[in-house]
Amino acid sequence: MMNAARQKLYFNMVLILATGTLLKEDTSGFVHAADVGDEPRNDANYTKTPTSAASKLCESCNCIKDKGVFDCTSKQIGATLFPLEDWQSLNTNGLDAKLVFLVSTGLKEITHFPSMNVTWLDLSHNEIATMKTGCFANLTLLQVLDLSHNRLKSESLNPDVFAGHYSTNEYMPLSKLRVLRLGANDLHSLNPDLFEHLPALEELSLELNPFKVIDQQSEIAIASIERLVSLDLSYMELEDIPKYLFHTPRGLRYLNLTGNLLQEVPAALSYATALAWLSLDENPISSIVVGTLSYMSQLKVIGRGAFSGLESLQEVHITNNPHLTYLHGHAFVRNDTDNPERLDWPPVKRLYLHNNNISYLDAQLLVQWDTMDVIDIRANPWTCDCTNRWVLLSLLPIIERTTPAILNNIDCKSPSQMAGLSMVDLEHKQTHLRCPDEAGNNPSNDGALLMGLLIGVLLAIPLTAAIWCVYKRGCFGLFGSGAPAAYSRAFYSRTTLNEEF
């Protein structure tokens, strides 16, 4: 059970996320925990319903009418849910509950909820071990269901738990449910038909369940989620991922495999072609081999710490990703466990980065460049300015020494004055790459400009001197526009006194 401080923070985060998600139109249909703010809860606004019109539930729990919140966090309500008449008293007293929090309440069994307009239901951090068939059937608007940190076992989690109302011949689906969190339970496997009543499911969390292996039944269950966008399989003691697990959910964009026992990057990732975010942190991976982070048409960014937990990593292939524009300089770095102020990098010997859309390469991405066997940076649109100066001065000589055969096709894409030039040729000519000025202009032609100015100055000096001399000798009178008297005096020569006599 969470302590009061953590519970308050937890509720605050969930409430901000829930209200923000549900009050505005979500065009993606997807909820991200990264969108949570950290604004503290204002308890002054967190009031109970006045006693004169109070429902029984609002006397023991917190109700916020204007936001549709019913919160029983850390209130011990017993092993089962409230009676139906108590739930119905919420509507009677003016609370249209949309966000319901029954966190850390001691619940052990979920029976049935009455018909309510609930869109977000949090049942996490309880002791729930059993759930009745169709227990959520009356919550037809439910979008987010959190069952994490309970005692659910594989046997108790059957498909009919998520069934909707029963029609003439079948159960209706929970057609709005997009997010299902089952993390930190006691699941070892999934019923192959577990998600058959959840056609809109996009986000599934299974983290911290002791699966050890994704068996065939679990594979069928996960692969059946056609609209799956986000999947969390972190800390599940997995040694491998079934090869065709991601064959059906081709829209998978967020995959968390942190904290497993993977010794190599799973071949299953070759089917996850839409991935935009992937974490393989804290796995004993020694090599990232061909095809693992390659040919991912939607991959745009590899962020800070993406591979920081791969302490034995020796080979990296991140290739043929046409939209990959950014590789964070701290993607591989981690803080030393003994001395947090010290940074460590994995002993990478072979780095393949060809055929991406990368313009800059951070010198601190890896620090043992001079001891590496292969560095392949071909076919990227490199920017040839001072930020990449170290590539010319330090990296290209290493590539030339170790693998000269892959020096071709390392060309400048920008600035325009450098476009199409070979970086290898620039390195051989000992070209100094310059940075844009304050106005954003790249002065790569400054040399020619300065030479032109110098020639102009050298020509201007004798010309100016000649004009000055002509002026001093009075020759300008020949071409002046003065009065006739001034013009005649220019030709008049006075005689001396002796000449007059």
Which pLDDT does position 441 carry in this prediction?
Answer: 56
CA 392/CA 257 separation, integer angstroms: 37
Two tokens at 211? 């699966």
Give the length of the chain.
501
Q: How confident is the model at residue 317 (pLDDT cuts 50, 70, 90)?
A: confident
Per-residue confidence (pLDDT) for residue 50, from 0 to 100: 41
- Fold (topology level) of 286-423: 3.80.10
Per-residue pLDDT, 23: 39
Residue 29, pLDDT score: 34
Provide the 8-state DSSP code for 52: G
Rounded CA-CA distance 38/316 in Å is 36
Most confident of 269-273, 279-283, 425-429, 486-490: 425-429
Look at residue 501 in the predicted model and tell me its pLDDT.
36
85 class by beta-carbon count within 10 Å (0-12 exposed, 13-18 middle, 19+ buried): exposed
User: In this structure, what token pair is assigned to residue 45?
Assistant: 């606004």
Average pLDDT, the chain: 80
Tens of pLDDT, residues 66-112: 999 999 999 998 899 998 888 888 877 788 999 999 999 999 999 99
Average pLDDT of 168-175? 79
Using CA atoms, how far apart are residues 438 and 440, in angstroms rounded to an integer? 5
The pLDDT tens digits of the residues spanning 196-222 come to 999 999 999 999 999 999 999 999 999
Higher-pLDDT residue of 365 and 308 is 365
279: its two tokens: 């974490």
Please report which confidence band the pLDDT of residue 409 belongs to, taking 50, 70 and 90 as the band edges.
Answer: very high
Tell me if the pTM is above 0.75. Answer: no
Whether residue 462 has a cis bond before it, omega within 30° of 0: no
**pLDDT tens string 274-310:** 877 777 777 887 665 544 677 777 778 888 877 776 7
